[in-house]
Each structure stands twice: as C-alpha cells, then as structure tokens.
Structure 1
Amino acid sequence: MSNQAQEAREALGARLRGFRKDAGFASGRAFAVATGWAESKVSRIENGKQNASEDDIRVWCERTRNQEHIGDLIATVRHIEELWMEWRRLFQNGAASRQQKSLPVYARTKIFRIWHPTVIWGTLQTAEYSAEVFKQVVQLYEITNDDSDAAVAKRLERQKYLYSGNRIFNVLLAEQALYTTFGGPDVMKAQLDRLLAVMRLPRLSVGIIPRDARLAVWPGNSFSMFDDKLVLVETYSAEISVTQPKEIELYAKAFALIKQSAVYGQPARALILSAVQHFDRAR
C-alpha cells in the first residue's frame, strides 16, 4: 500500500479509537463484545492494519453515538479504497470500464512520464498485441464478463491524444519489453513496426534501456505519471494511485535516474530492429 493510503487508514483508525473511548468503551475487547466482532478486528482497524468497510463505519458510529459522522467517514473509506484499488474489484464488471476511466485523465494531462520495463505501453499497442494482453488479464483475474474486445477498443481510443493538443509523452521501455512475447512472432513484428512508426511523432519521445546498461536506480514496477498530480503504479494485486506531492517527487526522481540509461533516435531504432530480426527468425 502507498504511504498516503496507509497514513489515511491509520488516521481513520485513530479517529475511530477516539470515538470508542469517548463512548465509554475502555478497551477494544469491550467494544468487540458490544458489536459482536472479534477483538482482533477492532484492533486491526484502530491501528490501520485493516480497511474498515462502509458497514463497519455505520456500526461503529451507531454504537458510539456518532451517527452524524457516518457520511464523512464513509467518504474517507472510499478515498482510501481509491488509493489502493484491487484489480479484482476494478474488473468485477469487465476490463473495458477501467480503460474508459483512464480517458478523462489523459484528456487533462499535459506531460506524461511512462516507465514500462517488460511490456509495450498500452497507448502504443496494436489491437492484436493488446488483445493478447487482455486474454492474460481475463485468465489471471478470472473475469466472468469477458469484454476484451471492448477493452481493446477503449485502450486504442487513448491513441488519439498522441495526435491532438500540445501533450508531451516521455516513454521509457526496457529492452526486455521488445521481446516479451504476446501472440507469437507475427503479432510481435507488427507491434515493433508500430513502435518504429510512432517514434516519428514530434511530441513523443521513446527511450530504450539496453539490457546491459548500467542503471542509476533499480527498475522497480512500471508506473505512469500524469503531470505532477498523479502516479499510477501497477502490481499483480492492485493499482496504486499516488497523489501525495512528496511521493510524486520520488517517482519523478526515479524516472529521471532511469532515463539516464536510455538511448534514443538511431540507437533505439537499432535495438528495435534487432528485436524484429529475432522474431523473423522465430517464424
């Protein structure tokens, strides 16, 4: 969990602890008896070790006679959940809705900083490559509403921002991203051809980190920066939204350090063409 989400959860727990004590429950055990909960649950919520659900908030406020705070605290819970959103919850209605959600963020962003160590960034993907990615998403998260075609369409819709407005796209890919195979050699060759084509766009900068490059910082997870207002970090379990200025500064510093190892222009194209030759031989 990001520092901001954890701090918010701990602050919520401290506030609920205050409600409990003010209501005359001297211990977590006494409150657990009154609510029918396990004592460990009360302790975890108060110490920021467990998320409180909206129902938990209602029960807590009713038992401590703080009903007037229910709306405010539920809003706090929802904000914490937004900072740490599990993929299973995001995909409970399919994958397309998550892609749709990104469009307004792209529309208002002026400067993008993207780091992907193993996969081609979604906005630069071909339809075929993207479809193979979403096949894996559906399998991993056991999405029952398989709307992969709609998800691909929404992902490709983001490409319009490459051609409109004065947005600046700074994209860093590790050389491994050129070889991570989705769909076989033909799909990969088409994807690499697409990458070579978009590199000519005037407001898109694509840097490649050679596999033998010395790094000033370890690669870490992929992340996307939207101006200096939001960073999205993807893990297997969740998408983390970083909005705290100090944390955003840290990601900006990491991006600058990774960028020091990147090659651009003809050296970057040469790495991509080597990958194309690799998939030619694999056919």
Structure 2
Amino acid sequence: MPRSPSSTVQAARNELGVRLRELRKEAPLSGRELARLAGWAPSKCTRLENGETLPSVDDIRTWCRVCGADDQAEDLIAATRTVDSMYVQWKRVQRTGLRRLQESYVPLFERTQSFRVYSSNVVPGLLQTEGYATALLTDITDFRGTVNDVPAAVEARMERSRVLRQGRRRFAFLIEESVLRHRVGDDDAMADQLGYLLSAMAFPTVSIGVIPLAAPRRMWVVETFSIYDAEQAQVETLTAAVTMTAPGEVAVYAKAFAELGKVAVYGQRARSLVAAAVDSLG
C-alpha cells in the first residue's frame, strides 16, 4: 500500500545523496577533503550525502568541479529540481492567495484523460459547488493566514471544473461516507453540495462511489490523493502537496484506488447514502 508522502520525498533525497557520495569516492576524496576544497564545513558534506539537506544549484556545480565530474552537473541539477518539485509547501504557493493555485492546475487537467480521485476529508474540488468551495476556501485562508482572494479563487475553481463536461475524459471519484456528513458552510451550502453530487452521478463520463462507514474494510482510510492518467499521483497533506511521477509509486496509488473501489457502493446505493446525509441536515 502507499508509503507516506514524506517518505517518498526523503527516498528521492537519499538517492540524490548516494549519487553525490559515489562521485566523491570516484574522485577519490574523503568528505573532509571535499569540504576543504569546496570551502565548506565538513558537516555540510555529510548532510548532503545523507539526504538531510537538498543541494542548491551552486552546491551541485561546486561538488562536481571538486570531484572532476563537471559533465555530471546538469543531470544532478535536473534531479535536484525534480526532488524540489515533489514537495510543494502550501505556504509557498498560497502566499499571494488561493486563485493562482487553482489556475495552476488547469494545464494538468487539460492534458489528462483519466482522473481518479479518492477523498477522505472533503468533496473533491472538481465536484464542489460555489457555496461549498467558498466556505472551504475561506476556512483555509483563515487557518493559513494568507491573502484573502476567496471570491477570485472560487471563480477559478468553478472555471476549471468545466473539464467535467469537455472532451472525452473519464472521471472516477471515491468518497468516504464521512465526507457527506462533515459540515462545510451552512445547511444551505451543504444541501446544495449534496444535491449536486446526486446530479453528477448521472453525468455520462463520471463515476462516483461512496465508501460506507459500516462497510467491512479491505483498505484502511488513507490521505486524499489524485491520479492523473498513469503519469502522476498527488497527495495532499495539511502542509504540502506531494507529487509522484515514478511509475512504481503511481502504480501503488492505482492499486490503493482499486482496493478502495471494491469497498465503495455505486448507483442507487450511493444515492441513498447521499440522500440520507441531506435528510440529516434537518
């Protein structure tokens, strides 16, 4: 089953550190010798080789120069950028508000033909109504203390959701039943949101499965994740978005999605769970 997003990023850092260590040994240089020639403290070499610190572009160029391996620099710089892009802190991408984050997904959505989304906490973004999205993004803005551009961010989220009705894309959503019960916004916002879920179940390109609270579990509740074709998986944590493109990692999330899908109910049984959530609003 999926390893934690943080362990995936750390594994990539460790692999980069191993490549640096191999270059040093091929030189051949000790860690202290490399540090002296680079003008660094010996502890820096240790941190880079152990994956404790992600090297900068200048660090890579210096390391390769000292080791007589300038021809390796560009490949290592590319690897560093790949690791850096795997882990994107929300505070970094949301520092100017939420609108730009919503818009940043548009190219990915436009090139994806098959979407698989599992959500254990909120209604997936592509299925959110304006009222629900407004309440949710307001809460996120307040919690993170970012610039309040909620109306513009909601407009961008609604705009990107048009992908549901464009082209011949396929969408498969799995939602824990608890998501239907979590109150986001007032009763009217929740009623509208749940009503839209019922409508979306009839879209020809959309499959929505609900995992009942009482269902015998074949797969435990995990963090919310999305799979775009077979090329990329993204996991959302409280502090960051972690993107995985390694085929083995994406395949593990695809396996998890398949296992979760076996527990879910569809069609009328799923509609009944949504309707029960509507009734619970009073």
Q: TM-score, normalised by structure 1?
A: 0.88
In the TM superposition, residue 252 of structure 1 has moved relative to its aligned partner by 1.4
- For the 8 Å contact 2:88–2:240, the answer to whether it is kept is yes
Q: How far does residue 146 in structure 1 lie from its aligned partner after superposition?
A: 2.8
Structure 2 residues not aligned, in runs of 5+: none
Residue in structure 1 matching 2:93, options 90, 93, 99 = 90
State the SS of the aligned residue for 1:260. Answer: helix
Contact preservation (8 Å) 2:103, 2:160 = no
What is the identity, as a one-letter code, of the residue corresponding to 2:88?
Answer: M
Change (3 A) 1:37 1:147: farther
1:215 aligns with 2:217: yes
- Structure 2 counterpart of 1:272, from 259, 270, 274: 274
User: What percentage of aligned pairs have identical amino acids?
Assistant: 38
Give the 3 Å change call, closer, same or farther, for CA 33–138 of structure 1 in structure 2. farther
Q: Secondary structure at the match of 1:169?
A: strand
Would you say the 8 A contact 1:4–1:244 is kept in 2? no
1:15: which partner in 2?
19
State the secondary structure of the residue aligned to 2:234: strand
| Closer, same or farther: CA 136–16 of 1 in aligned 2, 3 Å | same
| Equivalent residue in structure 1 for 2:163, among 161, 164, 169 | 161
**1:188 CA drift (Å):** 0.9
How do 1:150-229 and structure 2 match up within 5 A? 150-229=152-231
Give TM-score, length-normalised by structure 2: 0.88
1:24 is displaced (CA, Å) by: 6.1
SS at match of 1:166: coil
- 1:260 pairs with one of 253, 262, 275: 262
Check conservation: 2:170, 2:206, Cα contact below 8 A: yes
Q: Which moved more, 1:123-132 or 1:38-47?
A: 38-47
How big is each residue's C-alpha offset from its partner over 1:11-51, in whole Å with a ceiling of 9 and x where there is no partner? 3222323444556642x344445556454332121122322
| 1:226-251 CA distance string (max 9 Å, x none) | 11111111111221112122222211
Question: Structure 1 residue 82: deviation in Å?
Answer: 1.2
**Is 1:113 the equivalent of 2:138?**
no
Residue 126 (structure 1) aligns with: 129
Mapping of residues 241-256 of structure 1, within 5 Å: 241-256=243-258
Whole-angstrom CA distance in 2 between matches of 1:66 and 1:130: 51
Could you tell me how far 1:61 is from its partner in structure 2?
Answer: 4.1
Whole-Å separation in 2 of the counterparts to 1:24 and 1:259: 53
Write the distance in 1 (CA, Å) between the matches of 2:144 and 2:76: 30
Instruction: Tell me which moved more, 74-83 or 92-101.
Output: 92-101
Helix, strand or coil at the partner of 2:46: helix
* Segment drifting more, 31-40 vs 120-129: 31-40
- Partner Cα distance (2:22, 2:54) in 1: 17
Deviations 1:89-124 (CA, angstroms, capped at 9, x unpaired): 222333222221211111121211110012101011
Once the two structures are TM-superposed, the CA of residue 58 in structure 1 deviates from its matched residue by 4.2
Distance 1:269 1:205 in 2: 12
- Structure 1 residues 241 and 29, CA gap change in structure 2 (3 angstroms): same
Cα distance in 2 for residues equivalent to 1:74 and 1:92: 26
CA-to-aligned-CA distance 1:101-157 (integer Å, 9 cap, x gap): 2111111212111100121010110112112221232233332x3322222122112
Please list the CA deviations of residues 39-84 of structure 1 after superposition, one character each: whole Å capped at 9, or x if unmatched: 4332121122322233433443455565555444332211111122
Cα deviation per residue 1:173-214 (whole Å; 9 max; x = unaligned)?
111111111112121111111111211111111111111111
Deviates more, 1:95-104 or 1:122-131: 95-104
Matched AA of 2:162: K
In the alignment, the residues of structure 2 paired with residue 250 and residue 58 of structure 1 have an alpha-carbon distance, to the nearest angstrom, of: 35
Alpha-carbon distance in 2 for matches of 1:55, 1:128: 47
Q: Which residue of 1 is the match for residue 46 of structure 2?
A: 43
- Residue number in structure 1 paired with 2:105: 102
Q: Quick one: distance in 1 between partners of 2:128 and 2:75?
A: 41
CA distance in 2, matches of 1:45, 1:135: 39
Are the aligned partners of 1:25 and 1:31 in contact in 2 as well (CA < 8 Å)? yes
Distance (whole Å) between structure 1 residues aligned to residue 223 and residue 204 of structure 2 = 27
> Are the aligned partners of 1:2 and 1:242 in contact in 2 as well (CA < 8 Å)?
no
